[in-house]
């Protein structure tokens, strides 16, 4: 069920005023709408809030470059010859400050932040709307939603760029904003998420609507933030608010099908619904305007279509024999798809048996996760499958990591085994697993966590940030061009440095001067 997207579309026209003519961080334009002339009715407030979500659907983020950048840099993917140059640069770590998609990532986040700041800076106006028209609980929920979203945009910026401008109010002039220490950015994230968690509904509770932020999502992202900061006690406290309130999907693959979205495992998703409109999906790389209700993920990764990337050997080889997540995540020789069609890498039989069609795969495997081949024989540029940003399996894996860092080896192993039990795999601590991944020490449990996250979260944009925060990115990715001290971060886009009078070339991230 996708109830949020239709409201986003209704509100986007109202949000055109929220962008200046320049590709910068300014928000207001004196010739267009302002808070004083808008936010007068409940519908306008809802439009403003909904528009903050819309920047998730840009090509700079989840509609295209988020999955390419993270999956390629983490080498969940390898590239076919037709892969475009800017996507191949992720694989080879050859991008620089002129990279257009990195600029779109930066601008998508800041435009989302600008929209959030529009709402948070207009609380007095919103409070003037009578509670008969807009109940106080709804006002509080809206504010919680935009704070959650602002925190998430800043989390993306902090983890990908480090020190960035910290803006929490509407600009009053055309002056740029200077770089702020990443520690201050993280503190703002923590503040926003703490406040959001206190007013947002729980999933399924009063005021809950599928597709909108919840207190569960806020606590989960708060726990993740503390984990990234290595404040393990605080991470455990945050995540304890949702432990036991969710369960794992009985069938792993149901996390990645359109018909089973917002299931028992889902905590936060980026919404797509093709029938609501896709006409602007090529035009909105950063601003979130227009009809962007589809992602390119299916077509880009589709082995029977554009097939720009395929699962890397490193990823495929990480799976243990018999792990059902392998078959859930990948198509391989002999698999069926869209009913009766069979994939084969070998010779096509002659004559072809009645009712069967044979298509050469050409690679050892192709992606099944997030693909529409279970219901159609070809992908196109329109895929309506939501992206799982946070799901409960990852919360359990975070808890395994937290408990291990706190010296609680038993609970750490238990959390790992909870994830493995869902797919019927042998449990850590048994003789069978001890032969591969013993768990008798903190170091051994860490190795098991690294393994389990790789196979559970394949193609979910988790591998690269994991390797970076664990400090092992060069060890794993150095063979592909990753350089420690440089590639942990993206370069600040050069057009931002050129246009922002408060940022100098000396503010550029190390290695990109």
Long-range CB pairs of 24-29 (<8 Å, 24+ gap) are: 24/176, 24/496, 24/499, 24/500, 25/110, 25/114, 25/165, 25/167, 25/171, 25/176, 25/177, 25/500, 26/171, 26/174, 27/114, 27/117, 27/118, 27/170, 27/171, 28/170, 28/171
Q: Is 178 helix (H, G, I), strand (E, B) or coil?
A: coil
pLDDT for position 34 = 65
pLDDT for position 171 = 86
Q: Where are the domains of the chain?
A: 5-199+273-296+492-499
Show the DSSP H helices in 370-478 as ranges.
Answer: 392-405, 409-422, 431-434, 442-456, 463-470, 473-477
Check if the beta carbon of residue 245 is closer than 8 Å to that of residue 374.
Answer: no
DSSP code at position 192:
H
Contacts of 196 (CB under 8 A, 6+ apart): 144, 145, 147, 148, 151, 213, 215, 218
CATH architecture of 5-199+273-296+492-499: Alpha Horseshoe (1.25)
Blockwise average pLDDT, block size 10, the chain, 513 residues: 39 36 35 69 95 96 97 98 97 98 97 97 95 97 98 98 97 90 98 98 95 98 98 98 98 98 98 94 88 95 96 98 98 86 77 79 93 94 97 98 98 98 98 98 98 98 98 98 98 96 96 93
Neighbour-count burial of 345, counting CB atoms closer than 10 A to its CB (0-12 exposed, 13-18 middle, 19+ buried): middle
User: Distance between CA atoms of 198 and 165, rounded to whole angstroms?
Assistant: 26
User: Distance between CA atoms of 388 and 147, rounded to whole angstroms?
Assistant: 20
Summarize the chain as % helix, strand, coil (round to 5). Answer: 45, 5, 45
């Amino acid at each position: 069920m996708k109830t949020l997207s239709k409201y986003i579309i209704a509100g986007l026209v109202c949000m055109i005023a929220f962008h200046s003519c320049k590709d910068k961080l300014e928000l207001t334009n004196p010739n267009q709408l302002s808070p004083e002339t808008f936010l007068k009715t409940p519908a306008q407030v809802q439009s403003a809030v909904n528009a903050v979500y819309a920047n998730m659907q840009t090509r700079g983020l989840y509609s295209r470059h988020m999955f390419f950048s993270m999956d390629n840099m983490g080498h969940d993917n390898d590239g076919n010859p037709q892969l475009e140059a800017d996507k191949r640069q992720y694989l080879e770590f050859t991008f620089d400050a002129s990279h257009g998609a990195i600029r779109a990532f930066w601008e998508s986040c800041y435009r989302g932040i600008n929209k959030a700041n529009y709402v948070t800076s207009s609380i007095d106006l919103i409070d003037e709307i009578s509670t008969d028209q807009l109940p106080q609980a709804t006002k509080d929920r809206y504010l919680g939603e935009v704070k959650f979203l602002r925190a998430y945009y800043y989390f993306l910026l902090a983890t990908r760029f480090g020190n960035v401008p910290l803006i929490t109010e509407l600009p009053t002039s055309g002056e740029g904003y200077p770089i702020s220490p990443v520690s201050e950015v993280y503190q703002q994230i923590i503040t926003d998420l703490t406040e959001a968690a206190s007013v947002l509904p729980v999933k399924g509770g009063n005021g809950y609507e599928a597709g909108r932020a919840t207190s569960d999502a806020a606590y989960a992202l708060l726990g993740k933030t503390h984990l990234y900061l290595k404040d393990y006690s605080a991470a455990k406290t945050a995540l304890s608010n949702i432990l036991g309130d969710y369960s794992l999907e009985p069938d792993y693959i149901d996390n990645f099908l359109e018909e089973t979205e917002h299931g028992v495992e889902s905590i936060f998703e980026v919404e797509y619904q093709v029938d609501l409109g896709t006409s602007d999906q090529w035009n909105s790389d950063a601003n979130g305007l227009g009809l962007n209700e589809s992602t390119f993920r299916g077509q880009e990764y589709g082995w029977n279509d554009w097939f720009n990337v395929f699962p890397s050997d490193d990823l495929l080889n990480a799976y243990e024999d018999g792990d059902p997540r392998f078959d859930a995540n990948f198509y391989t020789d002999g698999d069926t798809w869209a009913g009766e069609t069979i994939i084969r890498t070998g010779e096509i039989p002659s004559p072809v048996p009645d009712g069967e069609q044979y298509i050469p795969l050409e690679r050892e495997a192709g992606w099944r996760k997030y693909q529409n081949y279970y219901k159609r024989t070809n992908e196109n540029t329109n895929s309506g499958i939501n992206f799982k940003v946070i799901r409960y399996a990852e919360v359990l894996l975070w808890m395994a990591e937290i408990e291990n860092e706190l010296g609680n080896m038993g609970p750490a192993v238990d959390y790992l085994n909870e994830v493995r039990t869902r797919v019927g795999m042998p449990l850590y601590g048994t003789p069978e697993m001890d032969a591969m991944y013993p768990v008798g020490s903190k170091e051994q449990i860490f190795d098991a966590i690294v393994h389990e996250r790789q196979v559970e979260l394949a193609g979910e944009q988790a591998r690269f940030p994991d390797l970076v925060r664990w400090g092992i990115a060069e060890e794993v990715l150095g063979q592909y061009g990753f350089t420690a001290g440089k590639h942990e971060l993206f370069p600040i886009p050069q057009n931002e440095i050129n246009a922002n009078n408060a940022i100098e070339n000396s503010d550029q991230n190390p290695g990109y001067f």
